[in-house]
Structure 1
Amino acid sequence: MIVRGLRVVLVSTLLLVPAFAQANAIEDIIGLYNQAAAGDEAKVETVYQQLENLIELEGQKPLTMVYLGGTETLKGRDAWMPWNKMKYVEQGLAKIDKGLDLLNANPVPFEEQPIVSGIHESYLTQAISASTFTLLPDMFNYFERGYDIYLSLLAQPEFTKEPFAATAWVYALAIQAAIRAEDLSQAKSWLAVMERHDANHPQTLKAIALFNKG
């Protein structure tokens, strides 16, 4: 009973933490996630546990569910056994689907959305989903859905007004997906947008290099 009472007190206290503090928590987790996604396998489990803790505190939200699912696909990337790879990726995809369902079912007015990693929360939720879906092997049959998200997201007028420093990576990965889809006209269109914003940005140069490879 004492332990249960202490847990209630702790959760109640955490719920009083200002929103900006919780926003900082997800920013910190995203920083670790980016390192894990870039190949730092040691960070994957840490990120997963921190996301689970945040979800326990705040409840299921589109962004945290999408990041949790993305992290679980990283577990699949790093697993040794083929059946574990499949299990983790499929579980991760289910969580991302849940996050997108929450986003569609409970839309938050654009002006009320927090800014996370430099862009509006709903845009980041869609971008992470699209990048996860399109970077998976074809066998999971999620590429088309991810590419459709890119097409919809990058066509939204408000998205084009977001700071390019915060969206450059989205354009670069969308171009990578467009090249994979053999949709070169769309890839060139997105590259032109990047070059108008900042022709020397590292992500713009990365996108140009993708074309040069072909």
Structure 2
Amino acid sequence: MKTTTLASLISIGLLMTSQAVASPSEEIITQYNLAAQGDEAKVEYVYQQLEQQIAQDGADPLSLVYLGSTKTLMGRDAFMPWNKMKYTEQGLATISKGLDLLNTQAIPLDQQALRQGLPESLLAKAIAGSTFTSLPDMFNHFERGYDIFLDLLSDPSFKQQNYDAISWVYIYAIQAALKAEDKPQAQVWVADMQVRNPNHSMTVQAEAMLKSAA
């Protein structure tokens, strides 16, 4: 899974709530970004930190999604085919648990902590979508990931977020649309980016992706 743009997102302060729940620290998220970019040495560290955090503080949707995505990175890096399958399938199951938990919660966006510039629920969906659509087809999660992007990028609350915080999500969504041979949808998303900031580096990257798919 390529996540070069994840590492460049700006961190915004944690909003405290009355209920103490686990949530990945900015340090763990930074290490995850490096792991997702290909730094295999970070993967086991991030996984252990997330497991320890959840064991101590309890599970929350974002932590479970990051934990599951990290497990798929273990599958990516595994040498033996059976370990690739095992780790990836375990990761997918953990992400699903995170999304299921998210669906049971009804915390308004303005009461959620901002992580990587996004409310936690939006970030959880974005990480899940990017993970699902980046895996090999044999894991049969591409359609689910693409559906996440279709719902997320049409959500008015998502569109209201700072463009720097959501531009990377558009990149993964456009990659997924092109993989799905849904070029009209990719064009719509590129047009959205052009309206938001035509000179932004992510907009330029999206335009190049669309052009190369012509």
Shift of residue 211, structure 1, vs aligned partner: 1.5
Over 3 Å counting, the alpha-carbon distance change for 1:61 and 1:23 in structure 2 is closer
**What number of residue pairs does the alignment pair up?**
197
The alignment yields a C-alpha RMSD, in angstroms, of 1.9
Partner residue, 2:9? none
Contact 2:71–2:87, Cα closer than 8 Å, also in 1? yes
Deviation at 1:107, TM superposition (A): 2.4
Quote the Cα distance in structure 1 between the aligned partners of 2:141 and 2:100: 16
1:168 partnered with 2:167: yes
TM-score by length of 1: 0.88
Q: Distance in 1 between matches of 2:50 and 2:97?
A: 15
- Cα distance change of structure 1 residues 92 and 188 upon mapping to structure 2, 3 Å threshold: same
Q: How does 1:1-214 map to 2 (within 5 A)?
A: 19=16, 26-214=25-213
Looking at both structures, which has the greater relative contact order when contacts are Cα pairs under 8 Å and sequence separation is at least 6? Answer: 2
Identical counterparts, % of pairs: 56
Q: Which runs of 5+ in 2 are unaligned?
A: 1-14
Decide whether the 8 Å contact of 1:23 with 1:116 is kept in 2.
Answer: no
Distance 1:148 1:134 in 2: 10
Whole-angstrom distance in 2 between the partners of 1:19 and 1:157 = 25
Give the residue type in structure 2 aligned to 1:102. L
Q: 1:25 to 1:145 in 2, by over 3 A?
A: closer
Q: How much does 1:23 deviate?
A: 8.6
CA distance in 2, matches of 1:196, 1:208: 12
Superposed CA deviations along residues 162-199 of structure 1, whole A, max 9, x for unmatched, are 00000000011100000011111111111011111122
Q: Which moved more, 1:48-57 or 1:90-99?
A: 48-57
* Matched letter for residue 174 of structure 2: I
Distance in 1 (alpha carbons) for counterparts of 2:136 and 2:74: 15
Deviation track 1:131-177 (CA, whole Å, cap 9, x = no partner) reads 00000111011000000000001111111000000000001110000
Q: 2: distance between equivalents of 1:182 and 1:137?
A: 16
Take 2:182 and 2:204, find their aligned partners in 1: how far apart are those partners? 19
Flag the 1:126–1:107 CA change in 2: closer, same or farther, 3 A: same
The residue identity in structure 1 corresponding to 2:133 is T
Write out per-residue CA displacement over residues 47-95 of structure 1, whole angstroms, 9 at most, x where no aligned residue.
Answer: 1111112112220110000000000000000000000000000000000
Distance in 1 (alpha carbons) for counterparts of 2:39 and 2:139: 23
Per-residue Cα deviation, 1:109-145 (whole angstroms, up to 9, x for no partner): 2221111100111000100000000001110110000
SS at match of 2:25: helix
How far apart are 1:106 and its partner, in Å? Answer: 1.9
